[in-house]
Amino acid sequence: MNITPLTANIGAYVDGVELSNLTDDEFEALYQAYLCYKVLFFHNQEMTPEQHMSVAKRFGLLEPVHPFFPHLDDQEQVVVIETSRGNPPSQSYWHTDLTWQKIPCRCSILHAQQCPDKGGDTIWTSMEAVWLSLTSDEQNMLKELTATHALHAFEGSRYDSVAEGGQSYVAKVSNHYPPVIHPLVVRHPETGNATVYVNEQFTRKINQLPERESENLLKKLYERARLPDFQVRFSWQVGSVAIWDNISTQHFAVTDYGDNPRRLHRVTVRGKPLESYSL
């Protein structure tokens, strides 16, 4: 097994291993690389949905069925992210998966089933690197703040529809997932490293600041997260896999391929109670 770092701050490519047939020693090496590099990439991985879930279970308990994302009929915890003719991707946002939940998710594993001939890359950024790039005064200020996260971003997207009575289906579902409050800075429960924990898709506001100040500070943090020095970009092939840490990263799907068919399977691993992430 070979692990090759891709940038100074995030990302490594792994070859010489079959995820569907990992030994304990191989998994331990991968796990340590996952903690170090935050996102691992693989090519030419043949995995059934059952094997995909088995790999994810080595990282922890699986997340429950997503409230409205499509999924496989016989494996409901395998989310299907798909573009087809006449069904182009929705607007893309930088995000960290499922921060609208009270318990943050731990990691995600994405397996490419079908890819367009060109385009469709995904970019990840290290929010640990964003934290380290701030001044000590900025860090001390952020430590005192919390942010509200909510499911609102999917309203009007291709995952939404009109529910009974003309209400948005996502809005209806959101009643069962009220907004949650997370610290603006969290400490990774395993590495101990601090990371900025906001994202433009699910973070609504900073609770201790007036609206305009909240917007300005979030904008500054989002712009910092977009700096190329903190990022790694991955081009998918059929059989490619990405495994990433959802605590210390954000990611962005590049939607430059129109309605050319693209299909990926995602399994997400449940995190720990929020107290495990406090500074």
Q: Which residues are catalytic?
A: 95, 97, 251, 266
Query: Which residue is listed with tokens 């182009």?
Result: 88
Contact 112, 240 (CB under 8 A): yes
SS (H, E, C) 5-62: ECCCCCCEEEECCCHHHCCHHHHHHHHHHHHHHCEEEECCCCCCHHHHHHHHHCCCCE
At position 130, the amino acid (one-letter code) is V
Exposed/middle/buried for residue 221 (C-beta within 10 Å: 0-12, 13-18, 19+): buried
Give the C-alpha separation, 163 to 173, whole Å: 10
Q: Indicate if the alpha-carbon torsion angle 144, 146, 229, 9 is positive or negative.
A: positive
